[in-house]
Amino acid sequence: MSRITTGDAIAELPARPELTALDRCDSCGAQAYVRVTLESGELSFCAHHAAKFEQKLRPVALEWHDETDRLLAEVEQER
């Protein structure tokens, strides 16, 4: 289950499929861990670019689908 942020509220929702290795960052092509839904469509970002653009995009985003917590889980599994 992933965190979906709409406005100021955070809810645990299974509403949309999780991002997979096939989902790529629109800025650099790395694996996407954040999906941003805007009125004009969706953007996908790696953790780095999501953090870089968050301040500008968060106020206009309809939904901020964040799976960056999976990065730490994947590192823990490798140990």
- CB under 8 Å to 42, separation ≥6 — which residues? 35, 36
Helix (H) or strand (E) segment spanning residue 55: helix 47-57
Q: Is the pLDDT of residue 13 over 70?
A: no
Band (5; pLDDT cuts 50, 70, 90): low
Cα distance between residue 8 and residue 22, in whole Å: 29
**Tokens representing 35?**
């999906």
Per-residue pLDDT tens for 41-54? 999 999 999 999 99
| pTM summary value | 0.75
- C-alpha angle with apex 67: 14 to 29, nearest 5 degrees? 125
- Note the pLDDT of residue 17: 81
Tokens representing residue 72 in the block: 């730490």
